[in-house]
Amino acid sequence: MSDPVVSRRAEYIKYLHGLDAGLRSFHPKRVSEARRTLACLRNSFVEGRQLQGYEIVFQQNPPDDDAEQETWLLVGGLFALHPLVWRATKGPRSLGASMGKLSKKLVNNSSVGRRFTQLLAKDRHTLPYHLRQAIRLLSAHDIPVHYGQLLDDLVVVLGRDYRGDRASKVRLKWAREFHMPVSEDTGEPSTTEPPENTA
């Protein structure tokens, strides 16, 4: 039997993906509904307007845990800032993998690596702000995010045991996937082969 909390998270991410599908719909009503909902989720970052985001998140049946509910709200807001869904089913898919893709895309730009290193060092109180900056940066360069993995990771990193071993392992995974070579980063086998000897 599957874990009901894990199932709820999966349903929430499915709901967010549905908003992405709504944006790309050919039905104007569906597009406008998706835009309105995403605007409400973005408002969760605006002081005094969080209630709009709360209403949407609580309609999705989050677990009865304050820290996890806050994480759902954060991920919903991040998704609303950048609803570009990670489609690959294989390979690394953490926030580190997304930032690694960006770093590889902007080959000679060391600021991505610095920003990512700073992100890893943030505590649970300052991390949400820096996550918003990272997601905006990914959005500016059309780099997708695996929001299901991000939710799972942030439940740990922003949860009650945010200084424990599980949170350290999440950060280690982000760092490892940031630094993976391109072939591993894409989840595809490397197509680079040594040149044939034509002599």
Which residue ranges make up each domain of the chain? 1-83, 87-188
Determine contact, residues 23/31, Cβ cutoff 8 Å.
yes
Cα–Cα nearest to 150, from 76, 81, 100, 87: 76
Mean pLDDT by 10 residues, the chain (199 residues): 86 97 95 96 89 93 94 97 89 94 86 93 94 97 97 95 92 96 48 36
3-state secondary structure of 90: coil
CATH of segment(s) 87-188: 1.10.520.40
Q: Which residues does 54 contact at the CB level (< 8 Å), separation at least 6?
A: 44, 73
Residue 185, pLDDT score: 42
**Region of residue 187 (left: phi > 0; alpha: psi -120 to 50; beta: else):** left
Determine contact, residues 68/9, Cβ cutoff 8 Å.
no
Residue 107, pLDDT score: 81
Cα–Cα nearest to 87, from 3, 38, 132, 149: 149
pTM, entire model: 0.88
Residue 150, pLDDT score: 98
